[in-house]
Amino acid sequence: MADCIFCQIATKQRPSQLLHEDEQCVVFRDITPKAPTHLLVVPKRHIAQLDDLTAADQSMIGHLIVTLTTMARQAGVAGSGYRVVINCGPEGGQTVGHLHLHLLGGRAMHWPPG
């Protein structure tokens, strides 16, 4: 989608410091971090939200999660722990209409989040 900021980052139409890129996804730092480590794992294919996934997306979503765990190890938060968040829709806290996974770490996480 031409007006989607995450599509623009994934296709390099918008500058971003990519920490990882492969055929299915990109990883970059959140511009408004909520933790010392706050990365976004974003599929290259535009999927508006979690509810839009189908059975055909099982391999892709698995790839996103494996990529996230690899990035957690590279960021040095895997040993101490981290949080994975997928917001869905406006009431779920999703602010960008493109599916993405948040990797948050580097500090103690509390529940419920504040």
Active-site residues, by number, are 100
Pull the structure tokens for residue 69: 């765990």
Report the distance separating Cα 72 and Cα 98, nearest Å: 21
Give CA torsion, residues 88, 65, 85, 54, to 10 deg: 10
Distances (CA, A) of 32 to 7, 22, 79, 80, 90: 18, 24, 24, 22, 18
